[in-house]
């Protein structure tokens, strides 16, 4: 762990210096960028003046984090669900008077979206970012009136990703209906206070006198001049964009969420929200297109909206979780890589500052420099045992028959023993014979997509073979697929196979 932290710290210092160029920094009076490792800030760069006075930005400067608030709201809703106090499969109309009047134009389709669909942005309510920013301080009566008048849907409920601030805020109204308390109090009681996030608060007025609070500014001339922006108080939509925070608290928050994918789970974290629930929170529930913001310039295999967070399937690094925040005068972004424990947070006091792009570039730069795996996989004992047996059979030239342990019956139906032997002979014509002492299987493991699969290399005189095996998860797992193919020039993949995130998995196996 200490070596990993040192690698991340070294990589972070270098990447921060490279990526925070003067042109980027000119877009805001102040910004702070931090790289974190397992909840600790390991490198930070702070620039500018948070109030355009003599004070300088530091790692302790507090910025408004706007829509990053949604992750805290989602965690609170899930906490209530786990305690049996809120059912996310309930229709929103059970809690929100008048919401059932929302409908698609010229159709009879009404609004039957659930709380879960609101939370994962597929309720059918239209995208409303500019309107949502403007209505953040709107009183509850005003928003209730808007809903009572009837909302126009832009998609059928449950079908399409559309980022609706109003929609997510209705989850906050449901929380209040169930708890009979203001939602910001419930968020603090269930999430902020137990995690010790003392610098994360819903109003600037709640901070002690002398707290270093960044004021908000706007620029229309690429940073030549800045105009102060009024503070938007939180009203009915506050639960989706009201919070302020600093890098230390956000480092803790990212680790709390990302560590749900670890093998060991901190009991203190489990007491706040179970690892199982945190994993579901960071799993895509609504498909997102990757051809536009916030995915420009990224090499992704897929993406989707989870619960209060966006989940990316990065082509090199696997699962990356992120969310932005933006209001007039502020821009923020947090992103983390659960497999390595590395996170990045960037905050600035101008909404012209593209924190999402800066943070994403920083994270990928640090991960690349640190040689981070795309995931960590621990094999089932049965996977390794079956692979050893099949490897020995191939090396010895024996046919793969029913006597070989852990074969499901479909294996020899899909390709008979004779067909498999003939394929192997044809492959060996290209690679030459297998080396007499290829070394132990463990030294030749290349990757595993998960605990039920394995790929390994079998060295030959003029090349190599690639063996691929997949198990089926029965009470006693069996081999359901096994193949041997000729390795390409790099000796790590079959000829013609493209790159995959799983090429960079870190594979471990149980002790014998």
> What tokens does 24 get?
């980027």
Same structural domain, 368 and 384 = no
Res 19: pLDDT: 86
Res 417: pLDDT: 86
Res 232: pLDDT: 86
Please check whether residue 188 lies inside any domain of the structure.
Answer: no
Same structural domain, 171 and 204 = no
Q: In the 8-state DSSP scheme, what is residue 494?
A: B
Please check whether residue 295 lies inside any domain of the structure.
Answer: yes
> What tokens does 162 get?
């559309």
Distances (CA, A) of 186 to 167, 178, 226, 237, 337: 19, 11, 37, 15, 28
Res 402: pLDDT: 62
Specify whether the CB–CB gap between 101 and 151 falls below 8 A.
yes
Give the count of domains, the chain. Answer: 3
> What tokens does 340 get?
């390595």
Burial of 456 (0-12, 13-18, 19+ CB in 10 A): buried
> What tokens does 25 get?
């920094």
Res 109: pLDDT: 74
Res 468: pLDDT: 98
CA atoms within 13 A on the CB side of 425: 8
CATH at residue 73:
3.40.710.10
Same structural domain, 397 and 504 = yes
What is the number of helices (H) and of strands (E) in the chain? 15, 18
Res 1: pLDDT: 64
Domain residues for 319?
2-79+198-232+239-372
Which of 372, 402, 421 terminates a domain? The answer is 372
Same structural domain, 341 and 209 = yes
Sheet holding 445-447, edge to edge: 445-447, 453-460, 463-472, 478-486
Q: Which long-range contacts (CB under 8 A, 24 or more apart) does 344-347 make?
A: 344/33, 344/34, 344/35, 344/36, 345/33, 345/34, 345/36, 345/247, 345/250, 345/251, 345/254, 346/31, 346/32, 346/33, 346/34, 347/31, 347/32, 347/63, 347/65, 347/214, 347/247
Same structural domain, 289 and 424 = no
Res 494: pLDDT: 96
**Three-class SS state of 210:** coil
The tens-digit pLDDT sequence of the chain (512 residues) is: 678 888 898 999 989 988 898 999 999 999 999 999 999 999 999 999 999 999 999 999 999 999 999 999 999 999 999 999 999 999 999 999 999 999 988 777 789 999 999 999 999 999 999 999 999 999 999 999 999 999 999 999 999 999 999 999 999 999 999 999 999 999 999 999 999 999 999 999 999 999 999 999 999 998 999 999 999 888 999 999 999 999 999 999 999 999 999 988 899 999 999 999 999 999 999 999 999 888 989 999 999 999 999 999 999 999 999 999 999 999 999 999 999 999 999 999 999 999 999 999 999 999 999 999 999 999 999 999 999 999 999 999 877 766 667 899 999 888 888 888 899 999 999 999 999 999 999 999 999 999 999 999 999 999 999 999 999 999 999 999 999 999 999 999 999 999 999 999 999 998 75
Cα–Cα distance, 173 to 451 (Å, whole number): 42
Same structural domain, 9 and 54 = yes
Same structural domain, 41 and 91 = no
Task: Give start and end residues of each alpha helix (H) in 381-479.
Answer: 381-396, 410-414, 417-431
Cα–Cα distance, 301 to 410 (Å, whole number): 31
Same structural domain, 160 and 138 = yes
Same structural domain, 18 and 34 = yes
Res 512: pLDDT: 52
Cα–Cα distance, 378 to 261 (Å, whole number): 12
CATH at residue 494:
3.10.450
Same structural domain, 367 and 389 = no
């Amino acid at each position: 762990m200490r070596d990993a932290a040192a690698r991340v710290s070294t990589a972070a210092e270098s990447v921060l210096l490279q990526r925070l160029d003067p042109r980027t920094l000119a877009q805001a009076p102040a910004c702070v960028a931090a790289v974190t490792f397992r909840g600790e800030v390991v490198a930070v760069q702070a620039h500018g003046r948070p109030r355009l006075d003599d004070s300088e930005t530091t790692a302790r400067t507090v910025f408004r984090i706007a829509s990053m608030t949604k992750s805290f709201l989602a965690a609170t809703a899930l906490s209530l669900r786990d305690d049996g106090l809120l059912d996310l499969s309930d229709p929103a109309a059970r809690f929100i008077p008048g919401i059932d009047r929302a409908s698609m134009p010229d159709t009879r389709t009404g609004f039957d979206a659930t709380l879960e669909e609101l939370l994962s942005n597929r309720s059918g309510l239209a995208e409303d970012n500019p309107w949502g920013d403007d209505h953040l301080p709107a009183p509850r009566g005003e928003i209730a009136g808007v809903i009572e008048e009837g909302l126009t849907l832009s998609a059928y409920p449950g079908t399409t990703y559309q980022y609706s601030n109003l929609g997510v805020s209705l989850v906050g109204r449901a929380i209040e209906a169930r708890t009979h308390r203001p939602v910001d109090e419930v968020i603090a009681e269930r999430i902020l206070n137990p995690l010790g996030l003392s610098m994360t608060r819903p109003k600037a007025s709640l901070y002690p006198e002398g707290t270093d609070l960044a004021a908000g500014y706007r620029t229309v001339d690429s940073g030549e001049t800045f105009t102060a922006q009024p503070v938007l108080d939180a009203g009915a939509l506050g639960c989706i964009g009201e919070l302020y925070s600093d890098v230390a608290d956000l480092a803790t928050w990212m680790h709390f969420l990302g560590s749900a994918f670890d093998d060991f789970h901190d009991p203190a974290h489990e007491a706040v929200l179970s690892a199982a629930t945190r994993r579901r929170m960071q799993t895509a529930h609504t498909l997102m297109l990757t051809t536009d913001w916030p995915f420009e310039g990224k090499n992704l295999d897929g993406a989707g909206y989870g619960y209060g967070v966006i989940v990316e399937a990065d082509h090199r690094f696997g699962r990356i979780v992120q969310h932005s925040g933006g209001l007039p005068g502020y821009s923020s972004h947090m992103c983390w890589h659960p497999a390595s424990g590395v996170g990045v947070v960037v905050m600035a006091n101008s909404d012209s500052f593209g924190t999402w792009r800066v943070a994403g570039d920083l994270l990928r730069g640090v991960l690349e420099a640190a040689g981070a795996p795309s995931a960590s996989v621990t094999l089932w004992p049965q996977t390794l045992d079956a692979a050893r047996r099949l490897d020995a059979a191939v090396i010895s030239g024996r046919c793969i028959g029913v006597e070989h342990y852990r074969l499901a019956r479909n294996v020899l139906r899909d390709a008979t023993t004779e067909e498999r032997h003939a394929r192997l002979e044809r492959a060996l014509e290209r690679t030459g014979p297998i080396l007499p002492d290829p070394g132990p299987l463990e030294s030749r493991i290349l990757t595993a997509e998960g605990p039920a699969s394995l790929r390994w290399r079998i060295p030959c005189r003029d090349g190599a073979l690639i063996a691929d095996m997949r198990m089926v998860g029965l009470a006693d797992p069996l081999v359901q697929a096994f193949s041997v193919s000729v390795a390409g020039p790099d000796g790590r993949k079959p000829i013609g196979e493209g790159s995959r995130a799983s090429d960079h998995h870190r594979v471990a196996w149980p002790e014998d």
